[in-house]
Chain A
């Protein structure tokens, strides 16, 4: 399973 990077940047 691919780990999705958290979208915490703009």
Chain B
């Protein structure tokens, strides 16, 4: 455990807290992509299947359960709970996620660390996480202007990815035998997806002003 990894996990948790606060306190899921949240739920449920047989630390196991619980709760609220379910707009949030899930499943079957079922599922979850934010980014793009809490949510997720990237660099130079090509590749792609958002986030938040983020 290093500081980058820890802060990365904390900003990941922060992103869940921001999103849960937004949809429970604000009673609205407007601007939030249910598609992205469903993808995250699939990602966590498939990657953390090993909760049943792998134990690395209490910290890890606890956070795995937290991530599955939070993403499931978010999907449940937006899909089934009133009044939030009536604020979700399926016409706006219509990214065809089958085109993300399909190729990631094929990639998971073909490119993995070891030819076992769990390694295939695990690789699938890594690939899917890399692109899971796309429906959310497309939704923001369509809306043009992004509500503050939503922009903080995406920023917290982006920070989590950036910090994990630094964690990998740190581990590569401080540990022997630390090689994770699949994770590094997918993680770099994933972090890259946030670069454009961060540019606009910085533009609208600089000078301490709390203006909504405007996307072209």
Contacts and interface: CB of A to CB of B under 8 A. Distances in A.
A4 B60 contact: no
A2 B113 contact: yes
Interface residues of B, number: 21
Contacts of B122: 7
Contacts of B64: 10
Interface in A1-10: 2-10
B114 A10 contact: no
Interface stretch (B50-58, B86-94, B139-147): B50-58
Given A2-B113, A2-B114, A7 B179 contact: no
Nearest to A10: B63
A7 B114 contact: no
Contacts of B12: 10
B61 to A, nearest CB: 10
Interface of B: 5, 9, 12, 50, 54, 56-57, 60, 63-64, 67, 113-114, 122, 164, 167, 177-180, 183
